[in-house]
Structure 1
Amino acid sequence: MIHEELSGKIIGAAMEVLNELKPGARRKLYERALIMELMH
């Protein structure tokens, strides 16, 4: 159950980042945004 919950949070954070950033943004920007979203 813990893995399902954690996976859901990671996928949700990734989707949030993808929805906010423009397509074609640099990889490092996506990485930093995902880290910030996961820490939030």
Structure 2
Amino acid sequence: MYIKQRLNDSLCWLKYKYLRAADVAVWLHGFSELKVSYEV
């Protein structure tokens, strides 16, 4: 039971990290789009 709980925690942590990385990627993409539109 304890091992299962630890595994669950790790999965939640990985999912959180993945979501954060996706957020950053989206933000960076939006930022570069903004930069391009300013330069034009």
Higher RCO (CA 8 Å, separation ≥ 6 residues)? 1
Q: TM-score, normalised by structure 1?
A: 0.52
Structure 1 alignment gaps of length 5 or more: 26-40
RMSD of aligned residue pairs (Cα, Å): 1.5
Q: TM-score, normalised by structure 2?
A: 0.52
Q: Which runs of 4+ in 1 moved over 6 A?
A: none
Answer 1 or 2: which has greater helix percent: 2
Q: How many residues align?
A: 23
Structure 2 alignment gaps of length 5 or more: 1-7, 33-40
